[in-house]
Structure 1
Amino acid sequence: MAPLARSAAWATGTNPIIRRASAMAETSSRGAIAILAAGALAGGSTVAVVNDQAAEVAGGLIQKWEGTKTVPYKDIVGKWTVCTGETRVKMQRYTLAECRVFLRTAIKSDFGKGVLTCTPQIATTIYQLGAAISVAYNIGVAGYCGSTMARQFKAGDWYAACNAFALWNKAGGVIVTGLVNRRNDEMRACFTMLPPERTLTPKVTG
């Protein structure tokens, strides 16, 4: 798959949705920095919390690609699943409200915390963190933390990190169209509001 380049609207800030998100990002950034600073002053190492805007991005991606089913079913690799791609709870019928609680907890605590533990560099972002949580929800925290995505985020080449999402397009060793499409969606989110100073890899156009 060819690397996905940012659109002109992303690069120039002409997209009104992105302009509004910019203000949200500034507020989110201040909050995350305050949390990290408090941990440093206390003499400990603090894992930043997932900001609400990033959680919303992650939730939208996850719900779109996992769907929500209140009764257990087998996924494409035969694993029992319920609600929004949840495999860690008791397999029984749940209400939609219960499914929403599961997803929120998974994003804010479980997968979000795991992503921030191994890639704290993206703690103050909205779209990069949201996209990374969506990927981790699909491939697991261990898979994400050991991936090229995480290594490139830590190295400061976020453009390469976003492109590396495309590598995770297989299930059982076979390329799955749904995973290709999901990775493309997550990559688009990852490239949104990508800081220019984090684009070390030459831009690809066309």
Structure 2
Amino acid sequence: MQISETGLRLTKSFEGLRLRAYQDSTGVWTIGYGSTTNVKPRQVITQQQADERLRVDMATAEHAVNIGVRVVLTQNQFDALLDFAFNEGIGSFLHSTLRELVNEGKFAEAALEFSKWTKAGGKVLEGLVKRRAAEAALFTSPVKQEQNEHTHHP
């Protein structure tokens, strides 16, 4: 499976676009749409480079969700898990109770797990509270018929 336009909009809306390198709330150098790979202080990139970085970062997260989930997902469930894995990190996703519950087919319980991931640097961040709520809402929302053609079949 791959991210849909809905999922991409969700990630972009929470990451925001920054063409100049900055340190995130935990001090990690970041640029573009939340990219942390090989970012240097004072680095500047173009919109095109930001889009390319996002595609590469998303492909890595897509791979992790595709190999980490062993049950059939809707596009919305996939997109929500992908945004989570992108934001929290692949290792966090792969070792999470969220992923375990998804693989057990306990989707209602899994949806409640998003809200447990709202801290950065030991502090609850309002932005993460909102992001996790948006992911949970997407995860539990019905899929439009045209999206159903892209369900995940392990």
The equivalent residue for 1:63 is 12
Determine which of 135, 150, 153 is the counterpart of 2:99.
150
CA deviation after TM superposition for structure 1 residue 94, in Å: 1.0
Q: Confirm or deny that 1:102 pairs with 2:53.
A: yes
Q: Which runs of 5+ in 2 are unaligned?
A: 144-154
1:115 equivalent in structure 2? 65
Query: Partner residue of 1:40?
Result: none
1:132-158 CA distance string (max 9 Å, x none):
010111111110111111001000111
Deviation at 1:131? 0.5
What's the CA shift for 1:125? 2.1
Query: Whose Rg is larger?
Result: 1
Q: Identity percentage over the alignment? A: 27
Query: Deviation above 4 Å: which 4+ runs of structure 1?
Result: none
Specify the code of the residue in structure 2 equivalent to 1:66: E
Structure 1 unaligned residues grouped into runs of 5+: 1-49, 195-206
Residue pairs, 1:32-111, within 5 angstroms: 50-51=1-2, 54-91=3-40, 92-107=43-58, 109-111=59-61
Q: Write the distance in 1 (CA, Å) between the matches of 2:29 and 2:4.
A: 25
- Which range is displaced more, 143-152 or 86-95? 86-95
Residue matched to 1:190: 139
Distance 1:61 1:120 in 2: 24
1: distance between equivalents of 2:71 and 2:32?
Answer: 31
Deviation for aligned residue 1:83: 0.4
2:25 match: secondary structure:
coil
Worse-matched range after superposition: 182-191 or 56-65: 56-65
Residue in 2 that maps onto 1:140: 89
Report the Cα distance in structure 1 between the residues aligned to 2:10 and 2:71, rounded to whole angstroms.
21
Contact 1:112 1:133 in 2 (8 A): yes
Provide the C-alpha distance between the structure 1 equivalents of 2:138 and 2:54, rounded to a whole number of angstroms.
19
Q: Measured at CA, do residues 89 and 58 of structure 1 come closer, stay the same or move farther in structure 2, by a change above 3 Å?
A: farther
**How many corresponding residue pairs?**
141
Equivalent residues of 1:57, 1:126 under 8 A apart: no
**TM-score, with normalisation over the residues of structure 2?**
0.85
TM-score under structure 1 normalisation?
0.65
Query: Whole-Å Cα distance in 2 between the matches of residues 57 and 167 of structure 1?
Result: 23
